[in-house]
Amino acid sequence: MYQTFDVTARPEQGPPRLAALRKELAAEGLDGFLVPRADAHQGEYVAPHDERLSWLTGFTGSAGFCAVLQDIAGVFIDGRYRTQVKRQVAADYTPVPWPEVQLADWLKKQLPNGGKVGFDPWLHAEGQITSLTKELKGSGITLAQSENLVDRIWQDQPAPPMNPVAAHPLDYAGESSADKCARLAKDLRAAGQAAAVITLPDSIMWLLNIRGSDVARNPVAHGFAILHSDARVDLFMAAEKLDGLQGHFDSSVTVHPPEDFLKAASSLNGSAAADTGTLPQIVADALGERLVAAGDPCALPKARKNAAEIAGSAAAHLRDGAAIVEMLAWLDAQAPGTLTEIDVVKKLESLRREDPALRDISFETIAGTGENGAVMHYRVTEETNARLEDGHLLVLDSGGQYLDGTTDITRTIAIGTPGGEERAAYTRVLQGMIAMSRLRWPKGLAGRDIECIGRMPLWLAGQDFNHGLGHGVGAYLSVHEGPQRLARTSHVPLEPGMILSNEPGYYREGAFGIRIENLLVVEQAPALDTSDPERDMLCWRTLTFAPVDRRLVDASLLTADEKDWLDSYHREVAAKIGPQLSPAAQAWLDAATAPL
């Protein structure tokens, strides 16, 4: 079982911790130090041992970093966290809008006479350091590899996780580990590469058909791997994690202590492929001229779900949908003002736990009412816990990690009687979700080519939202999985088998938030009478089934096609979810899915 620790700095703790870090800067002769939200494996989520950014600053977002100088400490956050960071950090820290403001430009402004900025080479990818070094050229600012200075002052830092690893059954994986290794090794040989170095935990889990619990809400174990072109695998992972798995690995997998990884990387014969966007700088240094920036070989094969993975995900979503509907029916029976955000979180998590296939929730449940709903990645605490009052909107974003699939769903719920402005904004968000769900597009397009479809109804009203339209999702793996995304920066073509979220939103700071999210799987589109015979088209199949709140829909704003889509979707929800429900919840669902 994953052990949790509260490592977040309270606002009053941030200044003394910052002062202690600055003393270490002076002792090391450094003018600055970079503190990322990252570990040596460069995953999105980190164990308590690696929550250095949160411990130092108080900021708990899943992306960002801090650049600490002697007279300023910039906390760099993207559009998802602009509101959240204001709540969480002390005045000694300066929020910096990123990527609008790039780190190199900020450092040049803050250190006009140059200086030496330290970084931990385990926590920064080779691509990041190479790019930053180029951008700082001629500024007099240099980057220096350093011991981690936050670890030096963090007296009660939790130990690195050492949780057990389990085999992932072939019925769910759909392909043996040996076949995966052979398939990827063939690609290495074709590219003339002797090996691939893999540092992302979810890639190692997928390749070897194992799952772990070193990171909360993510079924991964920390380790490193080298896949050789003859399909052998060297796995660098603490032996105590692997007790009981001796029969799972065949003779092609050799287990080594993690501390042997750098030596093994430095002694490879021939070129080694790796993803320089996630490969730690210290590993890149060990590889030297052998390093080939060829990407993680597991990334695309993992993203293209096979039939067993898609079937498992679809089944998990149906059971998850039943838990969601039971919760929605319960919530609707409560009078406004009687529940808090924490009450909703506890109820939903208890309903999910009734499924024996559940292993964990897939991320910290977001339940934000009123102005808390405008914080995109809000996480309720005892201090922020708000009551669900009449006229509020509740943004409820949650998911489960089931043995057969990973779920992620968001519904925005009216508490009592919603206002007209909220209903109009909700309807525009719904129109964007429907437009993306109905989309057919030519094969070869990437997320950046189509994500605007989900924004268009908001754009027409002069509105928008500061997060991507969608992210990839794993098969009982990370709820945020690359490389595919529905985002302006995503150039990876969408392919059949990829699972992505479709989650437009709208956020009025200090007032309310709205988000609606379903998961979709890419499929080959069936031919139409009007189809060009030589043109391959793709489309979506919806995996998520739970009603959207009809009380928030202004039907007068919907087109006939949009109404038809919503009514058809709700018929599917009633047919697929209804038979799993308690009598009371089924009666509630019948009313919630009635035609517009």
Q: Are residue 122 and residue 191 in the same domain, yes or no?
A: no
Residue 548 sits at φ, ψ, to 5 deg, of: -90, 155
- Residue 586 vs residues 288, 330, 351, 368, 581: alpha-carbon distances, Å: 62, 11, 15, 26, 6
Domain count across the chain? 3
Q: Are residue 97 and residue 204 in the same domain, yes or no?
A: no
CATH code (residue 134): 3.40.350.10
pLDDT in tens, the chain (596 residues): 334 455 676 778 889 999 999 999 999 999 999 999 999 998 778 999 999 999 999 998 878 999 999 999 999 998 888 888 888 888 899 999 998 999 999 999 999 999 999 999 999 999 999 999 999 999 999 999 999 999 999 999 999 999 999 999 999 999 999 999 999 999 999 999 999 999 999 999 999 999 999 999 999 999 999 999 999 999 999 999 999 897 899 999 999 999 999 999 999 999 999 999 999 999 999 999 999 999 999 999 999 999 999 999 999 999 999 999 999 999 999 999 999 999 999 999 999 999 999 999 999 999 999 999 999 888 898 989 999 999 999 999 999 999 999 999 999 999 999 999 999 999 999 999 999 999 999 999 999 999 999 999 999 999 999 999 999 999 999 999 999 999 999 999 999 999 999 999 999 999 999 999 999 999 999 999 898 988 999 999 999 999 999 999 999 999 999 999 999 999 999 999 999 999 999 999 999 999 99
Residue with tokens 């909700």: 426
Q: Are residue 179 and residue 124 in the same domain, yes or no?
A: no
Last residue of a domain, one of 281, 298, 315: 298
CATH code (residue 530): 3.90.230.10
Q: Are residue 545 and residue 475 in the same domain, yes or no?
A: yes
| Rounded distance between C-alpha atoms, residue 52 and residue 65, angstroms | 10
| Rounded distance between C-alpha atoms, residue 352 and residue 348, angstroms | 6
Amino acid at the residue 382: E
Last residue of a domain, one of 104, 119, 153: 153
DSSP 3-state assignment of 505?
Answer: strand
Q: Are residue 109 and residue 219 in the same domain, yes or no?
A: no
Fill in the DSSP letter of residue 218: B
Task: With respect to residue 9, please indicate whether it lies within any of the assigned structural domains.
Answer: no
Last residue of a domain, one of 262, 279, 298: 298
Q: Per the structure block, which two tokens stand in for 477?
A: 């793996």
Q: Are residue 137 and residue 174 in the same domain, yes or no?
A: no
Task: With respect to residue 159, please indicate whether it lies within any of the assigned structural domains.
Answer: no
Q: Are residue 98 and residue 232 in the same domain, yes or no?
A: no
Helix (H) or strand (E) holding 172: helix 170-173
174: which residues sit within 8 A by CB, 6+ positions away? 306, 307, 308, 309
Q: Are residue 266 and residue 172 in the same domain, yes or no?
A: yes
Q: Are residue 384 and residue 531 in the same domain, yes or no?
A: yes
Task: With respect to residue 596, please indicate whether it lies within any of the assigned structural domains.
Answer: no
Q: Per the structure block, which two tokens stand in for 578?
A: 């209804």
Task: With respect to residue 372, please indicate whether it lies within any of the assigned structural domains.
Answer: yes
Domain range for 111 is 14-153
90-98: list long-range contacts, CB under 8 Å, 24+ apart. Answer: 90/11, 90/12, 90/14, 90/15, 90/58, 92/14, 92/15, 92/18, 93/14, 93/18, 93/57, 93/59, 93/66, 98/64
Q: Are residue 395 and residue 513 in the same domain, yes or no?
A: yes
* Nearest by Cα to 110 from 73, 56, 65: 73
What's the whole-model pTM score?
0.93
Task: With respect to residue 522, please indicate whether it lies within any of the assigned structural domains.
Answer: yes
Amino acid at the residue 38: A
Q: Are residue 413 and residue 539 in the same domain, yes or no?
A: yes
Q: Per the structure block, which two tokens stand in for 171?
A: 């019925």
| Rounded distance between C-alpha atoms, residue 442 and residue 498, angstroms | 15
Q: Are residue 308 and residue 293 in the same domain, yes or no?
A: no
The dihedral of CA 30, 34, 35, 41: what is its sign? negative
